[in-house]
Structure 1
Amino acid sequence: MLTSLNKPSEAPEQSHPFHIAFCVDDHYCRSMGATITSIIDNNPGIAFTFHVFAFSISDDNRQRFSQISSKYNVATHIHIIDPAIFQPFAHISQFSYYSPTIFTRLLIPSTLRGITDKVLYLDADILCVGSLAELLPMDFGDSAAIVVPDADETTRRRCAALKLSSQRYFNSGVMYMNVEEWESQEITEKTIHAILQNGKDYRFPDQDALNVVLEGKIQYIDRKWNFLYDLIHDLEKDNRQMRNIGEVVFIHFAGAVKPWNNWCLHGSRDLFAKYHAMSPWADMALDAAPRNYKEMRMFSRFLMKRGKVLDSFKWYMKYLSAR
């Protein structure tokens, strides 16, 4: 049973809108729409400005995104990134190993400098189920960002691999960025260089690099601001309802299975469907069946857990043929 922070919470007085940024491609616009509507629904009285950073956005998704403004009286902006911005790094041989998309969110502070002094970056596989009132007035001090610890086991492994003396490691799916400090401390440039110099040794290139560069320059806050919910953990045990996760604000479905995968038959679908139905992407159906060989293999395992041996075998054969 899911417990969330759906309690009345008085919105803080705002002299400026609260800025939230996403970095997506067309495939993730649908899920981003649910993220945005979940934030709006749980935070009446807060003035938001939503930003999308992308290399390209289809006309259809542009139109849908703009509908959020008229429907919910919030501001929306699309920032199309010119790949030429990375030209200064092209001479570094390692640059060709990486898709420019992993650098996208590093461009948020420089783009929004002069527009806002702080911006919340969110992955598009997150749903908001509580109030942001406590987050808005947080004092950064001289920290470049406010972040949330990753899972204990991930933290242990990555701290050892990266030799982090702080023994702390954050998940970069939620980052509250201090624009001026981020820029003055040259976090973007240092992170790009860290990826290019050491990325082949990183398990998560951009996240690992951010942890190395930002060590000692960040504040950590409670995991309720980025609660990592692994659906595979439930489905491997054939638990189809959401676990009691206590009072959280952001649920981050960071694993390989997402709540918009209708085929997973997990209760998180209902939570996603609630906010999806409120978004301009509401007419787009959830994923009815696995779309790639990795999803096919997972679905075969889940079906076996449910005792559906024949169906499991059929999907395993599809996995083998698609691999």
Structure 2
Amino acid sequence: MNNPSPTSPATADDSFHIAFCVDDHYCRSMGATIASIIANSPGVTFTFHVFAFALSEDNRKRFKQLEQMYQLKTHVHIIDPEVFKPFAHISQFSYYSPTIFTRLLIPSTLRGMCDKVLYLDADILCVGSMAELRDMDFGDSAAIVVPDADETTRRRCAALQLSSQKYFNSGVMYMHVENWMTQEITEKTILAILENGKEYRFPDQDALNVVLEGKIRYIDRKWNFLYDLIHDLEKDKRQMRDIGAVVFIHFAGAVKPWNDWCLHASTALFVKYQALSPWADLALDPAPRNYKEMRMYSRFLMKRGQVLDSFRWYMKYLSAR
């Protein structure tokens, strides 16, 4: 893995370290996430990290451009698949893509560079200041997390037999590097996935909830507000719902705000921040790209009364399935 040396400038400052785990397809949305964070937290110094198994030269250059645009530090960490070799003897390992383990490498990689690091999914937009989060006290907790939706929490707590009756969404995880390492969270989570992953609905998230039970601090949902665009589009509601004063809007559903074909106001919010990033020249997705998106788009068109167009896209869905 490509790591900066322990004497890099990032060790000398008090910047807020934020990490993403992406592939080339998600770099554009990561760029919008980063731009939204910077725009809404004036006065906060950031260092951004990207973890990936591979990254195109174009995306590497764009990511580096952030340094000149916003006077901050960036680091690319290319993961060597050999890091998972110690687990190869466990037969279940072959069932899983190594990508589900990527987030678990963040604390060990950044140990010595920072004390705390915020992991974010790349389908999040920041609409408020992060200064309050930066100063939160971890105590002995390995991470600070946000509760998942009530129904998801109820179901997963029952399935995983979580005595705390608490379940978090792992798209936002503020990690305390030393506490995480001392409590061997990465090792325990990988073993939990390999031993029980076939019973988990969300292998890495479920395993993290099991391993971290009693070792985490929960904070308000404004730090990871789950916004399901399908909820709106199934009712042909194209404007953003009133969600109050939140900091992170997490578009965790199957439809994303960079899908221009969804015709939802969230697209304008995404474009606003993408325009402030090195990926500003890239177009939104003009049409559904796979059969699942084609089926959803057909349903949305039917809700809008565009029966003929709906039928056409349903036929495309049947052909692509």
TM over 0.5: yes
1:1-323, aligned counterparts within 5 Å?
A: 16-323=14-321
Secondary structure at the aligned position of 2:169 is classed as strand
Mapped partners of 1:187, 1:51: distance in 2: 20
Q: Counterpart of 1:3?
A: none
Q: Which amino acid aligns with 1:75?
A: K
One-letter identity of the residue aligned with 2:152? T
Identity rate, percent: 82
Aligned pairs, number:
310
> Deviating runs (4+, > 3 A) in structure 1?
none
Give the Cα separation in 2 of the matches to 1:40 and 1:66: 15
SS where residue 288 of structure 2 aligns? coil
Deviations 1:111-167 (A, max 9, x none): 000110000000000000000111111110000000000000000000000000000
Q: Give the C-alpha shift of residue 25 in structure 1.
A: 0.3
The one-letter amino acid paired with 1:196 is L
> Aligned partners of 1:154 and 1:45: how far apart in 2?
36
Gaps of 5+ in 1: 1-13
Whole-angstrom CA distance in 1 between matches of 2:134 and 2:266 = 27
> One-letter code of the match for 1:207?
Q
Give the alignment's Cα RMSD to 1 decimal: 0.7
Task: Tell me how far apart the structure 1 counterparts of residues 308 and 167 of structure 2 sit (CA, whole Å).
Answer: 43
Q: What is the SS of the residue equivalent to 1:251?
A: strand
Shift of 1:29: 0.2
TM-score by length of 2: 0.96
CA distance in 1, matches of 2:250, 2:106: 20
Cα distance in structure 2, aligned partners of 1:277 and 1:270? 10
In 2, Cα distance between equivalents of 1:260 and 1:139: 35
| Letter paired with 1:289 | A
Partner SS, residue 134 of structure 1:
helix
Letter in 2 for 1:280: P
CA displacement, residues 6-57 of structure 1 (integer Å, 9 cap, x when unaligned): xxxxxxxx95111000000000000000000000000111110000000010
Deviations 1:222-279 (A, max 9, x none): 0000000000000000000000000000000000000000000000000000001111
- In structure 1, give the amino acid aligned to 2:181: E
Q: Secondary structure at the match of 2:171?
A: strand
2:214 maps to amino acid: G
CA distance in 2, matches of 1:70, 1:195: 40
Q: Show CA shifts across 1:281-300 (max 9, x none).
A: 11110000000000000000
1: distance between equivalents of 2:299 and 2:114? Answer: 47
Partners in 1 of 2:290 and 2:29 — Cα distance?
A: 18
One-letter amino acid of the structure 1 residue matched with residue 38 of structure 2: I
- Match of 2:3? none
Name the CA distance, whole Å, in 1 between partners of 2:292 and 2:310.
14
Find the aligned partners of 2:100 and 2:308 in 1 and give their Cα distance: 40
What TM-score do you get using the length of structure 1 for normalisation? 0.95
Equivalent-residue separation in structure 1 for 2:72 and 2:33 (angstroms) = 14
